[in-house]
Amino acid sequence: MTRTPLIAGNWKMNTNLAEAEQLAAATARAAADLLDRDVMIAPPFTAIAQVADLLHDSRVILAAQNICWAEKGAFTGEISPPMLKELGVSMAIVGHSERRHIFGESDALINRRVTGAMEHQLVPVLCIGETLDERESERTKAVLEKQLRAGLVEITVNDPAALVLAYEPVWAIGTGKTAAPAEAQEIHAFIRKLLAAMFEKDIASQIRILYGGSVVPDNIDALMGQEDVDGALVGGAALKAESFERIIHFNG
């Protein structure tokens, strides 16, 4: 059983065109020698076309930060799977905590996004994670189970590469607080157990589960040393070429 590590940079609502091009080019150079792992970046929609050109012939996978389920029509403000595919996008972040908590996206809506992505052979990176309040009231596992099951309602996975999960505790995002590696491992093992109850065991054992939340050069090696941590979803540290280079070159 092998799970190819995946290090993903989520640029969120950052970078103008010139900054995006510079960062994408630097990331492509930094990833050129990394044959044993995958590297993904999710620029803002406004920079995707330019970044796609720069990533052509590179090892870096291009992702969107969100995705609609419909192919076209009256969905103001949304971007469809065919629109993204036309630009060379192959993955899409779905259900990020900022979408859930700032923009009120529900599990049911997120499930439609996951379904739409998969129907178009785009790989969703489904994010789940508990808030500080939920953690302090010991509801972490219940919250994660609900988000996972509801996000994956009526989803069939025949190919473990067709779906990626990201555990992003909300209290760790942009705060400088990271889950301790052992704690991340415990939660990732719990998520994998849930996956095994939902899908075939062989499939569940091969689906990649990323950790996200204040991942930086100083903690990536310890996180990647954990058995069920298959990669990272990196925010702030993916916006600086040197720190993202160090992160994708993790030893773990």
Footprint of ligand 13P on this chain (CB under 6 A)? 10, 96, 168, 173-174, 212-215, 233-237
Say which of 98, 130, 134, 168 is annotated catalytic.
Answer: 168
Q: How far apart are CA 212 and CA 246, in angstroms?
A: 16
Give exposure, 155-186, as e/b (b: 16+ Cβ within 10 Å): bebeebebbbbbbbbbbbbeeeebbebeebbb
- To the nearest whole angstrom, how small is the minimum distance from the Cβ of residue 234 to ligand 13P? 5
Which residue's CB is nearer to ligand 13P, number 214 or number 226? 214
Nearest residue (beta carbon) to ligand 13P: 235
Which residue's CB is nearer to ligand 13P, number 203 or number 232? 232
Say which of 96, 98, 105, 130 is annotated catalytic.
Answer: 96
- To the nearest whole angstrom, how small is the minimum distance from the Cβ of residue 156 to ligand 13P? 26
Which residue's CB is nearer to ligand 13P, number 164 or number 237? 237
- To the nearest whole angstrom, how small is the minimum distance from the Cβ of residue 169 to ligand 13P? 10
Q: In the 8-state DSSP scheme, what is residue 167?
A: E
Three-state secondary structure call for residue 126: strand
Which residue's CB is nearer to ligand 13P, number 5 or number 235? 235
Q: Which of 17, 97, 99 is nearest to 54 (CA)?
A: 17
- To the nearest whole angstrom, how small is the minimum distance from the Cβ of residue 126 to ligand 13P? 12
56 labelled catalytic: no
- To the nearest whole angstrom, how small is the minimum distance from the Cβ of residue 72 to ligand 13P? 28
Q: Are 202 and 212 in contact (CB under 8 A)?
A: no
Which residue's CB is nearer to ligand 13P, number 69 or number 211? 211
DSSP 132-157: HHHHHTT-HHHHHHHHHHHHTTT---
Cβ neighbours of residue 251 under 8 Å, at least 6 residues apart?
A: 221, 224
Start-to-end C-alpha separation, the chain:
17
Amino acid letter at 218? Answer: D
168 labelled catalytic: yes
In this structure, the chain runs to a length of 252
Q: Say if residue 145 is exposed, middle or buried (CB neighbours under 10 Å; 0-12, 13-18, 19+).
A: middle
Q: Which residues pair with 94 in a beta bridge?
A: 126
* Residues labelled catalytic: 96, 168
